[in-house]
Amino acid sequence: MSKKLNDLDWHKGKDGYIFNDSDNASKIKELLGGTGCGFCLAKFKQVTLHLGTGMTHSCHHPAPHKIPLDELADNPAALFNTQHLKHARKQMLNNERPSECDYCWRVEDEGGTSDRTYKSLESWALPDHDRIAALRGDEDIYPSYLEVSFSNVCNMKCTYCGPEYSSKWVEELKKDGPVKLLDGTKHEQWSHGYQDLDSLNIKNRDYNPYVEAFWQWFPEIYRKLRVFRMTGGEPLMDKNTFKVLDYVNENPHGQLEVSITSNMCPPDQKLFDKFVEKVKALEELRTYEDKENFNVHSGNNWYVDKGFKHFWLFVSLDGFGEQAEYMRTGLEFERMLNNVRTFLRETKYSTVSFINTFNIMSIPSLHKFLEMVLELRAEFGGRSQVEFEISPEQTEVEKENDIVHKVYTQKKYQRVFFDIPILRYPPWFSIQNAGQYGIDEVERCLKYMEDNVQGDDYLETFEGFKPYEILKIKRDLAIMKESLPQDQLLLNKKNFYMFITEYDRRRQTNFMETFPELKSYWRECIKAHTKH
């Protein structure tokens, strides 16, 4: 029997649902199950658009599919409402499991808790459950979580990336050809879909129908959004990124969280400087006469606030120093770190989160990566922050005597975060290949984190590691300890050797000089390949 939000005894705070509460995580399973065995709010509320290639997918697990231009011609909303997605939504509303969501079904069938639980519990999804559950599935709907890549233009060639997300990869593959690897059947295959390079050329056109459709659609959905995230490629190299920042600045939206995922090392430093200035402009406190733009009615009151909810800078960084540079060809580690420090110094209300896409080459420098996080937390934590208040009386506005003044209060807050999501593709970079060395090293890092756990004064200092961060490392460690089938492990070692050998040849790098800690593993890969 279908359930509604208020049918369940949710754990709530004074401002409403506590979206990340563990008690509520168990309740969302009951809510979703009552709506349909395959029902997931992310299919209706979240979308990632790859506008450079005209691809889309809701949630990050299903493979992207092409946005048909004939559907888009008269309806820009088809960016999120393709017939493909509508079919999957109908399945969910009819108590079916869409096949493209097989990642979650595998997790659930093995007794685990899948991402459809966690995503449906997010603040941008859960409040809309009852309205969505009443749909047919063929309606055009608005997303509340929108992630956009305007193009694959990038100045880096990361090891596990490919031409879909990096124009530098396209250049290299056109020059040197695809990398030949093994598919487990003693046949060679192209990796990363390199054979379809011509389909990626739209990124270089002056006219892109998908980008044009986005700018037609964006004003329509803007007020419905709660999270807007820009990725790439390198978003600082795309003019649309700055156009978005200007749009938000000119159209205040107090419930919108804005973010950019960047390598923080653009080819022209002026792009970084321009980015910082745009974020500073967004952060300027303003005096408003009402909260209409903030979706909260308060009558004729003056108040002070930013023009948006929060800004996140996500920095892609998979290691430390020279090893990080090896994994991301084009990265200048010290310049990246200086840019991060400049961003934190120049902005007042924004945060930085390092995204370490955890792979076998991340392991040797993980300890230094964690040390870097602690150093930045000490430098930009609560000890360097000042709480303050600003009222409308401090601004130059004319007010009537009966107007209620609303004060902006800035509290101390955590400015430096990090996450360590596990790399699942390509499999030859998986942490499950690392063996005992990798396990021992991650256990050493885990002890370092436990020795530097947040103290009782955390809300004053914002230093140390958080318990949930330690749990994430424990999760990664548990996966490392899960043994791969011997044939899969052997195949991974062969492909690792073939890929890295070709990688070093093309880019004039030296794996063994850069990763001496992986010397034993490299020898195992050579041995596996020799027997091939």
CA distances in angstroms from 364 to 52, 142, 185, 360, listed in the order given: 35, 44, 32, 8
- Cross-strand bridge partners of residue 314: 261, 353
Angle at 252 between CA 143 and CA 237, to 5 degrees: 70
On whether the CB atoms of residues 387 and 411 are closer than 8 A, the answer is yes
DSSP 8-state code for residue 426: S
Residue of 181, 110, 234, 101 whose CA lies nearest to 429 = 181
- Cross-strand bridge partners of residue 293: none
**Calpha distance 319→355 (Å, rounded):** 10
* 155 φ, ψ (degrees, to nearest 5): -100, 10
Based on its alpha-carbon atoms, the radius of gyration of the chain, rounded to whole angstroms, reads 24
292-321: string of b/e by CB count within 10 Å (b at 16+)? eebeeeeeebbbbbbbbbebbbbbbbbbbe
**Calpha distance 288→462 (Å, rounded):** 31
DSSP 8-state code for residue 150: -
DSSP string, 400-424: -TTPPEE-EEE-----EEEE-PBP-
If DSSP codes are grouped into helix, strand and coil, which group holds residue 223? helix
Quick one: tokens of 165?
Answer: 């997300």
Number of CB atoms found within 10 A of residue 374's CB: 17
**Calpha distance 308→251 (Å, rounded):** 9
Cis check: omega of the bond before 233, within 30 degrees of 0: yes
Write down the pLDDT at residue 483.
85
List, for the chain, all residue ranges whose pLDDT scores fall below the cut of 70. Answer: 1, 11-23, 184-206, 289-301, 393-405, 532
Long-range own/partner contacts, residues 328-332 (CB < 8 A, 24 or more apart): 328/156, 328/157, 328/158, 328/159, 328/263, 329/156, 329/157, 329/158, 329/159, 329/168, 329/507, 329/509, 330/155, 330/156, 330/157, 330/168, 330/263, 330/265, 331/156, 331/263, 331/265, 332/265
Number of CB atoms found within 10 A of residue 267's CB: 13
**Calpha distance 189→365 (Å, rounded):** 32
What length does the chain have? 532
> At residue 373, what is the residue type?
V
- Pairing of the two strands 351-355 and 308-316: parallel
Write down the pLDDT at residue 191.
55
Write down the pLDDT at residue 295.
41
**Calpha distance 147→170 (Å, rounded):** 23
CA distances in angstroms from 432 to 108, 306, 481, 529, listed in the order given: 22, 45, 7, 18
**Calpha distance 59→315 (Å, rounded):** 21
Quick one: tokens of 499?
Answer: 């890929």
DSSP 8-state code for residue 206: S
Residue with tokens 């499999």: 427
Tell me the domain boundaries of the chain. Answer: 5-143, 281-307+314-530
pTM above 0.85, yes or no: yes
> At residue 523, what is the residue type?
R
